[in-house]
Structure 1
Amino acid sequence: MKTITIIDTFGFFFRSYFALPPLRNSEGFPTGLLTGFVNLVDTLHRDHATDYLVFALDSKGPTFRNEIYPEYKANREAPPEDLTKQLPVAIRWIEQMGFANLSKEGFEADDVITTVTKFAREQDLKVRIVSHDKDLYQLIDDARVVMYDSIKRKEVDEAACIEKFGVRPEDFVDFQAIVGDSSDNVPGVKGIGVKGAAKLINMFHTLENIYANIEKAGTPRIQKLLLEGKESAFLSRELVRMRDDVYTDLDLSQFIFEDKNYLSCLADEFEKYEMKRALQKAKNGENGEGGDKAVKPVTQPKKPTLAFEAVTLDTREKLESVIGTFDKETMVAFDTETTGLDTKKAGMVGFSFCTSADKAYYVPVGHNYLGVEDQVSETDAVAAIKKLMQCKVIGQNLKFDLSLLYNRYGLDEVVPYADTMIMAWLSDPGSKVGLDALAQKFFKYEMKPFKEMVKKGEDFSAVAIPEATFYAAEDAWMTYLLYGVVKKKMELGSLTHLLKEAQNVEYPFINVLIRMEQLGIKVDQNRLHMLQKQLSEALAALTEEIYALAGTEFNIRSTQQLGVVLFQQLGLKGGKKTKTGYSTNEAVLQSLKGEHPIIAKILAYREYQKMLSTYVEPLLKLAKKDEKSRIYTSFLQTGTATGRLSSKDPNLQNIPVRSELGREVRSAFVAKEGYRLVSIDYSQIELRLLAHFSRDAALLEAFRTGVDIHMATAVKLFGEEEAKAKRNFAKSVNFGLLYGMGPKKLSGELGISQAEAKEIITNYFASFPTVKSFLEGIQERVKADGYVETILGRRRLFDYENANGMQKAAFMRESVNTVFQGSAADLIKLSMNQIDSMIQDEKLDAFMLLQIHDELIFEIKKEKVEEISRRFVHIMENVYELNVPLECSVSIGESWGELK
């Protein structure tokens, strides 16, 4: 059977543009899309993969769908400028090579493709459609019509359609009519997701059958949604159904794909755009040589290598000659080299910058070794950096560089144009976002390791300037390249809204975090000394008690020795022996509570030892280093997949909040003289988000009327009489379901049987029916789309298709968790930005010190504490409009331990 290949022209060009690095010629004209196009034509020629070839284009102006529904595709953003520059060139090349380029006014490329497919099938041709548009899944017919993924180079058939969407291709139009398509602004039936739509379609197949049997169409809620969305469903079907009558007649013989080098006619064009490999492909076979010999260098290409020129600017004159032409529209990748990682103390050794893909510069400032070469003075360097900061500055982890410049050199605050680490994190928050990892991921490029540059015990100032130039310039150069390729990736993944979120939220947030890191929080050294003594004495006493109960002395911290004592000498049951000995982890010890008095003592010993070694002693050591007894943590903006901030060196977010010892440690954190510490905490934020997203009537009512949500849940689950006694059960269920808690986990938490736990969960979903369908909808989206989104549209990706059973179960839990925890993180980040702006604009005598997930800790002047706290609460409660009110709790005290 002969094959006809139909290319969704714009769809392919978009995909090609985003799939390749940001290639350009010497004049800066982008060539990535053109390179992808040349590769496709060359592949078809060499593989003899088709007998006929057609390009299908969208027509200019509105189509018949806009007449049916004026809002159709109204939300589409304009394509990137680099892409639109290349499109006319590529379309001209299609015509120069003699390929058919079909379009018709009033129709879309999909309609052209559908019409060509109809004629091809009538002539018994196999149809291969090069497109990623899911609308075209309705055409799939195994062995006769397939989709083709030009990037993965594989065909998409009926089995792939069923696996991805749960429906057969012949039912796809009616399926889409229910699901809708947000990218094309096709409304569908609101409230019914992929899984629910697939279930309906597999049962009834058509909209007509669904509405003829509406009383059998799912739950009462689904029936209600279908009835409310009936008009929308039928309208949506008209929008998504492809037309096959664009042409009344079509002679496919004019589309024959010959066994010749179609690229040869474009040699001059490839010269013009400096596309050397394309030029090589165009010249293959020109001299009558055999095809195989001619294309061998192309079929086995050498691994492409990236290269750039690293230039040292070691005088003020050289530096000014380069940056003198820069203006506010110049895009500059910027990086600093320093004597250390503490930006309150480190000095600048030099800085690098890059404005093009082939050259980067290093400015040495503070190198210090015998015979050191010329350098730029610190004064001139700072003046140059101030000028660079007026450009469109991009960087990788700019929080570090800006913190250094603010702390040590007094530069005015700037909001960066872009940060590639944040961009990479937004595009895939579960991946590594360090510069080395990103260079490897996107360019297969190995960055020069820091450890090869700096000897042990030395810092960067000891590195020779010639070697330092390449290392430092490489960072700026790679950052410049990464900006282009990560931006493309985000645009390809329909993440342009996150580029805006980065500009509006994440980049300003960098300065908020820098300020918090500079401020630190005061510690009472006397309290820590007292706690250190108390814990040391308690550990000594516990040690003697454990020895007495064991009947022998041993190393309590050794898990191997402890295992022998518990399971061999004392003969406790349930010990599982591993290759390294018996397991004595927390879960094992908790399961043995009550079996022997020694267990409680060991658990207490471990708690005291952890508090002493993890918190008290390290905090005391840090406090002694600072003249104000303040401790400075570092906040990681890209440290979690959900979007929550994390804290390190030291981690102040993990001090146990429920234990008495944890509260004692927190009591050592105090306000400076004349001030008070204030905690403002979002109340039940994730449950409020559940009510907001699910729109469950019972939850909405509970939050709108201000009743105790856990009591309201208890009443629903257990009735009025038992509600008070079982409020904690209801609380565990309320929060547990947000984290994917099943019957096994709930039974362990509540100390009940799994059967009882399962019944409680069943009753919960019966009481809050919309919650269940919403949570299931989140999980459906992971299976169908491979991601979930937070309230600000941040995405977390899940490779569900390639996961094993255990990973899939984890993805189901993590996806639900991400929606709520990630959305809560969004809201508190918005609040922090607004509060920080208020503090700076009004020069308030108040300071934001810490963020502990849903809680903010402030240091506020004693006389102003209540007034300013009220204003901060107002911001937090009104930062984003939900379907339920946001509420905060406020606590004021002299120490952190007194709060809440």
Structure 2
Amino acid sequence: MLTLTHTVGGAECRIHIPESRHDLYGFEEFLAQGDKVLGFDTETTGLDVFTRGFQLRLAQFGNDREAWVLRSDLFGDAIARALQQPRMFVMHNAAYDLLVVDRHLGVTVEELGPHVFDTRILSHLLDPRAESEGGIGHSLKPLSAVYVDPEAPDTQGGLTAVFRSLGLTKATGWAGIDITNETYLRYAGLDTILVSRLFHEIGPLVRDVGLDHLSKFEHHLQLLLAIMQRRGMLLDVPYVETLRESLRVEAEQYRKAAARYGVENVNSTGQVAEALLAMGEELDERTPSGAAKVDKAVLLPLADLDLQWERLDVRAPNPLAEAVVRAKRAEKWATAYADAFLELADDAGRLHPFIGGLQARTARMSISRPPLQQLPSSDWVIRRAFVADPGHTIVAADFQAVEMRVLAALSGDETMKAAITDGLDLHSFTAERVFGPDFTKQHRKIAKAVGFGKVYGGGATTIARQTGADIEAVRRAITAYDDTFPGIKKYSRRLINRAEYGRKEVVTPSGRHLPLDRDRLYAATNYVVQSTARDLLAQAIVDAHDAGLGDGLLLPVHDELIAQAPADSAEEYVRELGRVMGSVFHGVQIASDPEVYGPSWGHGYGAA
């Protein structure tokens, strides 16, 4: 047996690596020591648990002073037995490791999940900010450096250096490094020691600030999301293969269109800016280096397109701007979606997108690998790739203007609450109040943008760009909006004042403490509303499982739950799902629109 030593927090720790069955006696004695909570981690060949060729290499257990690193090819049965003991385990980013052992060791998420603490969840509850936002972040190394040992080894950084020395990359190193490499084994063991120590430091802090209830909820939600990820969604592989080629043809067509205006490379900001200026366009925004900005936010309005790629109908589309944005989108979709779908699919043609339960400061959920949450709400082309299982139909239930309903509930604005109670379309209602009974489609778009500006923190400049409206008209609309819904402005001012003269944070109805940046106190309303809307969706997922609907759930996207049901009972299923999603929040009805989509996800968005 190989034994390595390392100093953590001033104490010598031991890392044991069994090399034969005889060495497992020491591992059994370690398990019998009586630790109520053991750290656990895995080392694998990559990030995507369900892709072809993915393998579990090592599984490691540890406490504050000792770790055992076991090869899965030699001791898979011993690893599984250890995980099935009646004890608790602590992991960092537990959803990943739960899915790994579910798939490769047969210890299911349902079996192991209830016995797991996740230090990533605990850290998010204590401070939801990323490192880029001024927080500690949620990675094991920086958290350990703050709470465990300032000299805590940078496990991933150290391994990356070893990968480079072996001629491997960060992507290929996990599969390519020799499984007996001492640095690899050392860092594998240290992670369990660090996560064990981190848990004993931050676990009590979560209790001390009264967030036990959120910890229990988030841990339970994590299991449900992991089960959804394990289920995955069936791909129409021939459709994806055809789509990939058509997107590449489309990208080439638009690149050729851009070349007719002197832009040989649509990704060259200099070429695009120069050509647009020569066409008489004004480019007022600048990059930090002083160059003219020609990103999507600038080009879409020039192409007379909004963020959903629908016509603004406020100007003649600039053909170059449209060629550039459409070329770049087609190329991105070919790579980020079509290529990724085929690469990430499992042997059965199913895709298992990663569902992040706590991915933002506000705790909003996200979908990555691939990033399905970034799709325009009006698009069906990519969504069409996902089809129901044989004999099933895709269904969905989407919250009705949930952010606006939450805003009405929290602010107590009587005008908006009355409009919701009367079943009115909030954006049309707002447009009529702001622009009069003869409001136009453009007026409704502005009213909608102003409303979401209150939720997402967008100002007059952002709204003008998104809608193509004159900025003075937008400012007048904002003033009229505030006059129409005075309760919202008062509520926002109250949150800002409390943050300005008290703690720089807001506390949501569920009890989350969301820090505010000193120069962005105006984001207070945005944070509370977004976080609360997220919690309502998370509760809907829990309630759907409690109601026996969980087996059909496939994906949460924005404010929508995508599911599938047997074709002969799809109407009944989605009607019940819509009922479960409904609730009353602070006196305001939270409602959803249940709908049977059809054979694919895209059929709910216009696919034929």
What TM-score, normalized to structure 2? Answer: 0.83
Shift, 1:630, TM fit: 1.7
CA pair 793-573 structure 1, distance change in 2 beyond 3 A:
closer
1:884 to 584, 588, 601: 588
Q: Is 2:286–2:293's contact at 8 Å kept on the other side of the alignment?
A: yes
Question: In the aligned structure 1, how far is the partner of 2:281 from the partner of 2:428?
Answer: 41
Partner residue in 1 for 2:189: 473
Greater shift in the superposed pair: 454-463 or 424-433: 454-463
Render the CA deviation track for 1:791-835: whole Å, top value 9, x for unaligned: 3111211242xxxxxxx1x3413x221111111111111111222
1:584 is matched by which residue type in structure 2?
A: V
Alpha-carbon distance in structure 2 between the residues aligned to 1:676 and 1:547: 44
Segment drifting more, 523-532 vs 846-855: 523-532
Secondary structure in 2 aligned to 1:484?
helix
Residue 38 of structure 2 aligns with an amino acid whose one-letter code is V
Equivalent position of 1:777 in the other structure = 494
1:379-418 maps to which residues of 2 (within 5 A)?
379-387=77-85, 390-412=86-108, 413=111, 414-418=113-117
Paired with 1:833 and 1:684, the residues of 2 have a C-alpha distance of 21
Q: Is the 8 A contact 2:409 2:585 kept in 1?
A: no
Contact 2:553 2:563 in 1 (8 A): yes
User: Out of 498, 518, 529, which is 2:241 matched to?
Assistant: 529
State the Cα distance separating 1:539 from its structure 2 match.
3.6
CA contact (8 A) 1:532 1:617 kept: yes
Name the CA distance, whole Å, in 1 between partners of 2:104 and 2:300. 50
Letter aligned with residue 741 of structure 1: G
Kept after mapping to 1: 8 A contact 2:255/2:264: no
2:334 alignment partner, one of 597, 612, 615? 612
Q: Residues 308 and 882 from structure 1, CA distance in 2 versus in 1: closer, same or farther, beyond 3 angstroms?
A: farther
Distance (Å, rounded) in 2 between the aligned partners of 1:324 and 1:476: 17
Of 469, 487, 505, 1:787 maps to 505
- Indicate yes or no: 2:369 matched with 1:649: yes
- The higher-RCO structure (CA 8 Å, 6+ apart) is 2
Report the equivalent of 1:499.
212
Cα offset, 1:700, TM superposition: 1.9
User: CA deviation digits over 1:439-490, x for unaligned, max 9?
Assistant: 1222313324333566535547724376555423321221122113223444
Tell me the equivalent position of 2:310.
Answer: none
Alpha-carbon distance in structure 2 between the residues aligned to 1:577 and 1:473: 49
Q: CA deviation at 1:749?
A: 4.0
Q: Distance in 1 between matches of 2:402 and 2:437?
A: 26
Rounded Cα–Cα distance in structure 2 between residues aligned with 1:627 and 1:610: 25
Q: Give the partner amino acid of 2:44.
A: T
Paired residue for 1:419, among 118, 138, 148? 118
1:364 paired with 2:57, answer: no
How far apart are the structure 2 equivalents of 1:603 and 1:733?
Answer: 25
Any idea what SS the aligned residue of 1:430 has?
coil
Q: Which runs of 5+ in 1 are unaligned?
A: 1-302, 368-375, 801-807
Tell me how large the CA RMSD over aligned residues is. 3.1
Q: CA deviation at 1:417?
A: 4.5
> What is the SS of the residue equivalent to 1:308?
strand
Select between 737-746 and 538-547 the one with higher mean Cα deviation.
Answer: 538-547
C-alpha contact (below 8 Å) 1:714/1:726 kept by paired residues: yes
Residues 726-756 of structure 1, C-alpha deviations (whole Å, 9 max, x = no match): 4433322222211223333334444444443
> Among 312, 320, 324, which residue is 1:602 paired with?
324
Q: Residue 376 of structure 2 aligns to which amino acid in structure 1?
A: P
The alignment status of 1:873 with 2:595, answered yes or no, reads no
Cα contact 1:789–1:819 (8 A) shared by 2: yes
* Paired residues of 1:528 and 1:668 also in contact (CA < 8 A): yes
Q: CA deviation at 1:592?
A: 4.9
- Separation of aligned partners in 2, 1:417 and 1:521: 26
2:339 partner amino acid = E
Q: How does 1:130-169 map to 2 (within 5 A)?
A: none
* 1:595 shift after superposition: 8.6
- The structure 2 residue matched to 1:744, chosen from 447, 456, 461, is 461
Question: In the alignment, which residue of structure 1 is the partner of 2:450?
Answer: 733
Q: Distance in 2 between matches of 1:611 and 1:735?
A: 27
Contact 2:556 2:562 in 1 (8 A): yes
CA deviations 1:509-545 (Å, max 9, x no partner) are 2211221221221222232333334333334443444
| Contact kept in structure 2, 1:542 and 1:605, CA below 8 Å | yes
* Aligned-residue offset at 1:347: 4.0
Report the counterpart of residue 307 of structure 2 in structure 1: none
- Give the match for residue 854 of structure 1: 559
One-letter code aligned to 1:589: L
Residues of 2 paired with 1:700 and 1:565: CA distance? Answer: 49
CA distance in 1, matches of 2:290, 2:415: 53
Deviations 1:597-639 (A, max 9, x none): 433333333333333333233334444xx33322221122232
Cα distance per residue 1:7-52 (max 9 Å; x no partner): xxxxxxxxxxxxxxxxxxxxxxxxxxxxxxxxxxxxxxxxxxxxxx
Letter in 1 for 2:512: R
Tell me, yes or no, if structure 1 residue 826 matches structure 2 residue 546. no
Residues 337 and 382, structure 2, Cα contact 8 Å, conserved in 1: yes
Helix, strand or coil: the match of 1:535?
A: helix
The corresponding residue for 2:61 is 353
Q: Aligned-pair distance for 1:335? A: 2.0
Q: What is the deviation of 1:894?
A: 1.1
Compared with structure 1, are the counterparts of its residues 725 and 397 closer, same or farther at alpha carbon in structure 2 (3 Å cutoff)?
closer
Letter of the 1:351 counterpart: A
Per the TM alignment, residue 677 of structure 1 is displaced from its structure 2 partner at its CA by 0.7
Does the aligned pair in 1 maintain the 2:266–2:328 contact within 8 Å?
no
Contact 1:423–1:499 (CA under 8 A) maintained in structure 2: no
**Counterpart of 2:388 in structure 1: which amino acid?**
A
Q: Deviations over 1:155-206 (max 9, x none)?
A: xxxxxxxxxxxxxxxxxxxxxxxxxxxxxxxxxxxxxxxxxxxxxxxxxxxx
Is the 8 Å Cα contact of residues 402 and 590 (structure 2) preserved in structure 1? yes
| AA in 1 matched with 2:215 | A
Q: CA deviation at 1:722?
A: 4.4
3-state SS of paired residue (2:490): helix
Task: Give CA deviations for 1:268-319 in whole Å, capped at 9, x if unaligned.
Answer: xxxxxxxxxxxxxxxxxxxxxxxxxxxxxxxxxxx99433321426323222
Counterpart secondary structure, 2:588: coil
Instruction: Report if the CA contact (8 A) 1:362-1:472 is conserved.
Output: no
CA–CA distance in structure 2, aligned partners of residues 537 and 365 of structure 1: 47
**Alignment match of 2:144 (pick from 435, 439, 446):** 439
Question: What SS does the aligned partner of 1:598 have?
Answer: helix
Structure 2 vs 1, CA of residues 353 and 304 (structure 1 numbering), >3 Å: closer, same or farther? Answer: closer
1:322 maps to 30
Q: Structure 1 counterpart of 2:397, which letter? A: I
Q: Output one character per residue of 1:128-148: Cα deviation in whole Å (capped at 9) or x when no partner.
A: xxxxxxxxxxxxxxxxxxxxx
Residue 31 of structure 2 corresponds to residue 334 of structure 1: no
The number of residues matched between the two structures is 558
| Residue in structure 2 matched with residue 558 of structure 1 by the alignment | 268
Larger-Rg structure: 1
- Work out whether residues 17 and 70 of structure 2, in 8 Å CA contact, stay in contact via their aligned partners in 1: yes
Q: Name the CA distance, whole Å, in 2 between partners of 1:860 and 1:643.
A: 29
CA shift in 2, pair 1:545/1:477, >3 Å: closer
Q: CA offset at residue 675 of structure 1?
A: 0.7
Aligned equivalent of 1:485: 201
In structure 2, the CA distance between the partners of 1:336 and 1:542, relative to structure 1 (3 Å rule), is closer
1:626-641 equivalences under 5 Å are 626-641=346-361
**Greater CA deviation, 636-645 or 749-758?**
749-758
- In structure 2, the residue matched to 1:259 is none
Identity of aligned residues (%): 24
For residues 502 and 867 of structure 1, what CA distance do their matches in structure 2 show?
A: 34
SS in 2 for 1:899: helix
